[in-house]
Structure 1
Amino acid sequence: MGSEEGMSDLDLDEKVFKIFKDFMARVTKFEELVAVGSRLLAGFQQGLEFLRRPPIDNTSMFVKHIINANQTKRIQLYLEAGCINIDDRLQNVSKLDTCQLGLLDHLSKGRSIINQLEFLMEDVTSAMQTAKGNSSSSRDESTEMNEQAPTSDEEGNGSSHLKKHRATDFAILMGITYSMVKQDYMMQERIVSSLSPKSSSGELESYCLMWSLRPLVNDEIMHQAWKLIPPT
């Protein structure tokens, strides 16, 4: 990444801002994964609930009348199978397997993104610590030179944005966002590890709700983080 000796405040702001943009791009990828995982979890719930569908109530006089009026081998086999079409049962068993494998793949990809976010956090920490270790006189001199140097319109726009938001602003938001995303991932990890054919309907409904609501992620902070990236 090159030497950071003599880095000015503006240089540090620009460096951290670039890391911040890379960080938020990976957060976007994670959020896309969350949406895919939500659909897989809903598919698992639907498949399992279909297989649990209760049989026809033979005690109902109305149902008895219909069955007695249609005493065919097909109806008899259907009743013996628990009122579930064999093909439908096989399709839903396959759906359960597909969704569960998909969720495991989701966790693998999510873990990779979490690791990438952690590396970027380390990059920011390193840049901040290195800049802090430089003498204040060197930083002041470098800043003065940067202020006197002519800049293009494009550079002026970038500097204007960075004057409003310093490296510490980006670093703090990265830290908060990383913590929220990691907790969200850990919640998803616990949900997936808890899934089984024995999961109750109430549990599955709660899992789907928690996954979609993402209670550990503060939307206001996420919006604040995105506002720090100017439109291109």
Structure 2
Amino acid sequence: CFRCILTGALVMANEAATTSPEASVEDKAHRIFLDFMTKVAQYDELVDAGKKVLLKFHQELEHFRRPKLLIESGAISEIVKSNYSDRMRSYLEAGCTHHDENIQNMNQLHSCQEKLNDHINKAKLLLEELQFLEKDAYSTTLTACLSSLRDTDDCPGDDNLTNNYSEDEQQPGDLLDRAVSCASVMVLVHNMLKWDYMMQEKIVKALCIKTSSSSELEGYCQMWDLRPCIDDNAMQLAWQFVP
């Protein structure tokens, strides 16, 4: 699973931490990014769980609204007439429903609404944590970039700086570029998830046992599953930064 992969990547990142300023910046930015993607994976798991609850709400509401028995139908009419017991009569008089079943059905609907509200609260907290990590990465890379610019100004035209690094060793500029790339991807992903959350929040607030039509509920389920605010290509790009 993604969370297991990220946990392993975090361990590797901590073990590979170096002491040079540029590498330290890249290491810190990368660890922040891995923390960020771990929470992205948690958010995705939360969305999947929320989708199941929404589908359950849809199912329970459709069951509650199921049409009455058409006793005028030829086959149904014959069955009713041949089995017109007290139990059948009570069932028909109750509108072709069972009282206990209706109570259980309503309890399920209210339970689904509570779970969806809880989902929104948890998703909001995760987004706040993602925003904190995003700002931390931005601050780290900005400070490093400004420091790098000052160092460049202090040593203009010094071509010997690049000779201090072996062919297999990344140069300071490369390390900073990777850190900046990670921070940029974090901004992109966080914005997508924020719009995704806003869509889910609108859906949950719009749910109503009395007024939500079948077509509306079907549309809500489709949008929740589709997640139109999420760019799959951008998400794949983000996961490519995870070793």
TM over 0.5: yes
Higher normalized contact order (CA 8 Å, seq sep 6+, divided by chain length): 1
Please say if 1:172 is aligned against 2:184.
yes
Residue in structure 1 matching 2:85, options 61, 65, 72: 72
For structure 2, the 5+ residue unaligned runs are: 1-19
1:135–1:209 CA distance, 2 compared to 1 (3 A): closer
1:178–1:145 CA distance, 2 compared to 1 (3 A): same
1:69–1:129 CA distance, 2 compared to 1 (3 A): same
* Structure 1 residues 130-145: aligned runs within 5 Å: 130-134=143-147, 136-138=149-151
* Structure 1 residues 90-109: aligned runs within 5 Å: 90-109=103-122
Q: Is the contact between residue 54 and residue 221 of structure 2 (CA under 8 Å) also seen in structure 1?
A: yes
What is the identity, as a one-letter code, of the residue corresponding to 2:193?
Answer: V
How many Å separate the matches in 1 of 2:235 and 2:79? Answer: 58
- Between stretches 118-127 and 181-190, larger displacement belongs to 118-127
Tell me what 2:198 maps to.
186
Identity over aligned residues, as a percent? 38
For structure 1, the 5+ residue unaligned runs are: 1-6, 151-155
State the Cα distance separating 1:45 from its structure 2 match. 0.4
Please say if 1:127 is aligned against 2:140.
yes
> TM-score, normalised on structure 2?
0.80
Q: Is the contact between residue 22 and residue 176 of structure 2 (CA under 8 Å) also seen in structure 1?
A: no
How many Å separate the matches in 2 of 1:36 and 1:59? Answer: 42
RMSD: 2.7
1:187–1:34 CA distance, 2 compared to 1 (3 A): same
Please say if 1:61 is aligned against 2:74.
yes
1:12–1:84 CA distance, 2 compared to 1 (3 A): same
Q: How many residues align?
A: 215
State the Cα distance separating 1:77 from its structure 2 match. 1.1
Tell me what 1:33 maps to.
46
2:239 match: secondary structure: helix
How many Å separate the matches in 2 of 1:147 and 1:48? Answer: 70
How many Å separate the matches in 1 of 2:169 and 2:81? Answer: 81
1:137–1:115 CA distance, 2 compared to 1 (3 A): closer
State the Cα distance separating 1:59 from its structure 2 match. 2.2
Tell me what 1:195 maps to.
207
1:181 match: secondary structure: helix
How many Å separate the matches in 2 of 1:158 and 1:133? Answer: 19
How many Å separate the matches in 2 of 1:70 and 1:220? Answer: 61
State the Cα distance separating 1:129 from its structure 2 match. 2.5
1:78–1:119 CA distance, 2 compared to 1 (3 A): same
> TM-score, normalised on structure 1?
0.83
1:158–1:89 CA distance, 2 compared to 1 (3 A): farther
What is the identity, as a one-letter code, of the residue corresponding to 1:196?
Answer: C
How many Å separate the matches in 2 of 1:157 and 1:136? Answer: 21
State the Cα distance separating 1:165 from its structure 2 match. 6.0
Please say if 1:11 is aligned against 2:34.
no
Q: What whole-Å deviation, never above 9, does each CA across 1:3-33 have from its counterpart, x for those lacking one? A: xxxx844332222111111110000110010
